[in-house]
Structure 1
Amino acid sequence: MKRIRYTFNRSAIIALLAAAMLATSSCSKYTELEPINSPSENSAFQSPSSIELAMQGVYEAAAVGSYNGDKASARGYPFGAAAIEQDEMRGEDMLNVALFYAITYEATYTTSSANNVNMWTGLYALINQANVMIRGVQAAAANGVIPAETAAAYEGEARFLRALAHHELLIHFSFPYADNNGSKPGVPYREKAITSQADVNEGLTIGRGTVAEAYAKLLADLDYAETNLPVTQTKGLSRATKGAAIALKTRIKQHMGDWDGVIAEGAKLGTDKQPTGHFTSPIGAYTLTASPETPFTSFKNNTESVFSIANGPNANGGTNGALAAMFGPADKGARGLVATSPILYNASFWVEGDLRRKLLQVNQVVGEKYVFNYKYRDYVNKTDYAPIIRYAEVLLNVAEAYAKKGNTAQALLLLNDVRNRSVPADKQFTTAPADLMLAILQERRIEFAGEGRRWPDLHRLALDPAYGSNGIPAKMKAGQMKLDGSDYNNITPPTFPATGGVKAYLYTEYQFLWPIPADEVAANPLLREQQNEGYK
């Protein structure tokens, strides 16, 4: 039971529950719709202690999951590492050094390529486990095993994770909300636990619906979570809270272009104020740490991280998936597979003297060819938490909303709160830059480098006439890089050849979306008819 990542008594109850909900009992692997073992599910909800273990099992599914059906080589699917890595590899700000991420990086994925298939199956496995948890605690409350308010709090955690998982599916398998106001096909939004063959059959009748319908359900889940989750959790940043639900809503409404909604949700977390110092949330007391480094050096306990996925020495993404292993340099014990791209490192908007270039980037000493992200540093035990949402994101989400609504003053205050802790005094904005929106979007690229926020921004802004990429941007190839590391020069940036890199893909080309996996469409006639165009 190495993969149960929390330090608790590894009882047979949680082992059976996790295995039953994640295992595949037949040759098909579609959407984890195989029935779970009902007796083990029932036993998991017969006492408060076993219910807590079951909840920890849901988080374990979020952090570790499985890879090609094997939990022993899970690679951090979906949120322990894989979501961050895949979202970075779909963007241009980090560089694929070897072949490991080439399929995602170069957009050559198919209906059977491993990373996109495992994201689909891992996310739906998590969703089903969350749904089993919801049904289980509802029954436990009805039977007097736990109080109703305790059951509601557990349900809030499960709904938070269910919403997070469905949104990750939407940004890869569906077009953005901005495309025809969410009328394009979404993803199946699964709200019912699969516990019998009848449930499997019912599940196969649920189609993709629309993007707008999925977003409405996301918000319903998060509204419930906000209402029923506690402000703080005794187990720290790796358990969902009221503030986490609100923070995630600022992201969801941002993707919808609901700027009034972003501002309203942000106000609950203090972003409508004009502070004399840093912005501070009245819920959860979130505020930026003094150094941009602290959320990553004190990842278990800091004022800025709103919600993270826990990793530990006995349960993490492993050598082939953990954040430190993938993003770190080989001379420090990592694999050195993903570097920071000169596209970002040399960008003119990343000013000289920015602490994030000094503190959160690191050279590989041997060879000096690449610069790597330095947010994840435990190369031995791989215990770095995976950041899901930080207060810095809330501030920049709301800054963007205020800029869209024409409130330049508040937008600048929020932008500066994030930016000024890192840039030298002579580079700070005293008045709004000529293109404030562009400055906010550029700040996001620097602040969240290595945290998986680049693809979500490219996805939601793809059709924006001023700031969108109109698809997947062109990227650098490792083969274009010089051996001496001189390509990393933000003072006098080198010029790279116009050819030899990874080609861009237009929004209208089918590669913009991932395909629904082959196993899914083979077993599910409804989704077979709803496959993304361009894939067979």
Structure 2
Amino acid sequence: MAGLLAIGLGVASCSKYTELAPKNAMPAETVFNDSATIELALNGMYNTAAIGSYNDDYSAGRGYPFGAASIEQAEMRGEDMVNLATFYEITYKATYSPTSANNVNMWVNLYALINQANTLIDGVRKAAGKGVISQAKAAQIEGEARFMRALAHHEAVINFSRPYADGAGSKVGVPYRDLPVSTPEEIQAAMKIGRGTVAEDYTKILADLDYAETNLPATPKVKDIARAGKGAAIALKTRVKLHMGDWAGVIAEATKLGTASAGNFVSPINGYKLLPSPDEPFVKYDNNKESIFSVAQSAATNPNTNAALASMFGPADKSGRGLVATSPNLYNASFWVSDDLRRSMLQVKQLTVKSGKPSQNFYFNYKYRDYLNKADWAPIIRYAEVILNAAEAYARTGNTAQAFLLFNAVRNRALPPTSTNFLTTPPADMVLAILNERRIEFAGEGRRWPDITRLVMDPVYGTSGIPAKILLTDLKDDGSNYDIVNRPVTNSKFGKIDYSDFRFIWPLPSTEILSNPTLKDAQNPGY
């Protein structure tokens, strides 16, 4: 990403209040007096999404909130990957606290990103009023900022609040901050914003995305995958409405992107489509027509090994860190047919030997493979998700025929032409088939936790909590747990966490509780 610039927001440390900006930031009043620095500030917002800080240190970022961290943490909150080391132990075993690093840094960096978005919105409105930029340009930049604000608030609400399905959004939400914070007066105003309800958060998220859809171009001019456009706003609305159980809403939004046709799905907006091979969105991560929005990374902007997707997911024999393996229970699942190309192309077996014996010969995710430069972009939403979101909504509303067409579009492109596993009639349980397909298609993309939380109360397909998880001690070093011929089930030693357990959601950071008077009594119960 070229031309990175952070906006000065005037808050010194998260020990006083949620961290809002890097220390070397340019003052906002300087940024918005020149069209060139406004554009740099917009790039800076995206860079904040990619890197963020780690424990108040911007030189040691870990990919918060939408670089590597949101994807890694969302996978470790689920059961389809196995934690192999201490790096993700707290998240994997749900031993987090108001001071544990991952959940604290997610909160801090989400709200830092939100504040940069808010400062951009305020700044470009004033700049347009003074004639520095046109009203149309200001509306476009505000659209991008409101897209990122919506994305960040949704990430916060699904991690720190109960799901929308619990009481139709009546449970306590997260503070929806929609004003810039820089001066002492603005800080005081921001502190008055309470948690509200989940439903209120969703209403504001959708309002931001509606604005973004209206004001963003169909084809962003600069690196269209890494800049929010009209299609990204619509695609994100399909996800948000899926979390709300608004099936008709999902269908209405997805239809704008071409999912109501009789096949050969192509979006009339920006030409999004499924690529012929399931590995193409990852091999061509910075330039392809399936990725609707991704967060850009490069050798220069990815701060270190601990923020890179390839390092975190990759096996040791390919220069990764070997921290997380694909769960054999997903790899062996009966719904994942043997000749599926996503197994051969997007999973890789580690082949290492210690003391003359196999060592952790497990399967690892292979979507991210730039182990040298660590430049794989973080996929946020792909056309495949829009298709499966629409498929589930159609299936839930009884239109099995359209659901099957959409489901098959994703499933069939992962099968070789000679496969005998093509389906000609819908599965007996179309919804279950789609939910299983999501687990295969989005493995390693951070979609597992969002599906766990949104489905937790579903009377038919619900998880009723965080599923039981396999531990390293459950796996055999020779890799024999992975066997798609006999398909054994590996027993999970780490038991399920019920939905009623306080650990189902993350705690708010202690720094926020201690320094923000409005939230001092608003900690999630149990922490």
- How many residue pairs were aligned? 518
- What's 1:506 paired with? 498
Q: Distance in 2 between matches of 1:111 and 1:486?
A: 39
- What's 2:15 paired with? 28
Q: Which amino acid aligns with 2:74?
A: D
- What's 2:267 paired with? 281
Contact 1:94 1:338 in 2 (8 A): yes
Deviations 1:407-438 (A, max 9, x none): 00000000000000113542122111100000
For residue 305 of structure 2, give the secondary structure of its aligned residue in structure 1.
coil
Q: Distance in 2 between matches of 1:510 and 1:517?
A: 15
Deviations 1:458-504 (A, max 9, x none): 00000001101101000000111111111111221234346xx2221
Q: How does 1:180-329 map to 2 (within 5 A)?
A: 180-236=167-223, 237-275=225-263, 278-316=264-302, 318-329=304-315
For residue 348 of structure 2, give the secondary structure of its aligned residue in structure 1.
strand
Q: Which amino acid aligns with 1:422?
A: A
**Tell me, which stretches of 5 or more residues in structure 2 are unaligned?**
353-358
Q: Distance in 1 between matches of 2:464 and 2:451?
A: 12
Q: Distance in 2 between matches of 1:131 and 1:266?
A: 28
Q: How does 1:347-358 map to 2 (within 5 A)?
A: 347-358=333-344
Is 1:522 aligned with 2:526?
no
Contact 1:37 1:195 in 2 (8 A): no
Deviation at 1:321, TM superposition (A): 2.3
Deviation at 1:31, TM superposition (A): 2.8
For residue 292 of structure 2, give the secondary structure of its aligned residue in structure 1.
strand
Contact 1:316 1:383 in 2 (8 A): yes
- What's 1:53 paired with? 40
Contact 2:258 2:267 in 1 (8 A): yes
Question: Relative to 1, partners in 2 of residues 1:29 and 1:332: Cα closer, same or farther, differing over 3 Å?
Answer: farther
Please say which of residues 366-375 and 513-522 is displaced more in the overlay.
366-375
Q: TM-score, normalised by structure 2?
A: 0.96
Q: Which amino acid aligns with 2:147?
A: F
**Tell me, which stretches of 5 or more residues in structure 1 are unaligned?**
1-5
For residue 444 of structure 2, give the secondary structure of its aligned residue in structure 1.
coil
For residue 71 of structure 1, give the secondary structure of its aligned residue in structure 2.
coil
Q: Distance in 1 between matches of 2:489 and 2:269?
A: 47
Deviations 1:346-400 (A, max 9, x none): 1111111000000000011213521100000000111000000000000000000
Deviation at 1:34, TM superposition (A): 8.7
Deviation at 1:331, TM superposition (A): 1.2
Question: Relative to 1, partners in 2 of residues 1:26 and 1:293: Cα closer, same or farther, differing over 3 Å?
Answer: closer
- What's 2:319 paired with? 333
Q: Which amino acid aligns with 2:12?
A: S
Q: Which amino acid aligns with 2:188?
A: N
- What's 1:455 paired with? 449
Question: Relative to 1, partners in 2 of residues 1:475 and 1:395: Cα closer, same or farther, differing over 3 Å?
Answer: same
Deviations 1:249-268 (A, max 9, x none): 00000000111100000110
Deviation at 1:234, TM superposition (A): 2.4
Deviations 1:285-317 (A, max 9, x none): 001000000000001111100000000011115
Q: Which amino acid aligns with 1:274?
A: A
Contact 1:34 1:197 in 2 (8 A): no
Question: Relative to 1, partners in 2 of residues 1:87 and 1:495: Cα closer, same or farther, differing over 3 Å?
Answer: closer
Deviation at 1:82, TM superposition (A): 0.3
Q: Distance in 2 between matches of 1:30 and 1:317?
A: 24
Q: TM-score, normalised by structure 1?
A: 0.94
For residue 181 of structure 1, give the secondary structure of its aligned residue in structure 2.
coil
Contact 2:514 2:520 in 1 (8 A): yes
For residue 122 of structure 2, give the secondary structure of its aligned residue in structure 1.
helix
Q: 1:412 aligns with which of 404, 418, 430?
A: 404
Is 1:485 aligned with 2:472?
no
Contact 2:20 2:116 in 1 (8 A): no
Deviation at 1:39, TM superposition (A): 7.5
Question: Relative to 1, partners in 2 of residues 1:33 and 1:386: Cα closer, same or farther, differing over 3 Å?
Answer: closer
- What's 2:347 paired with? 361
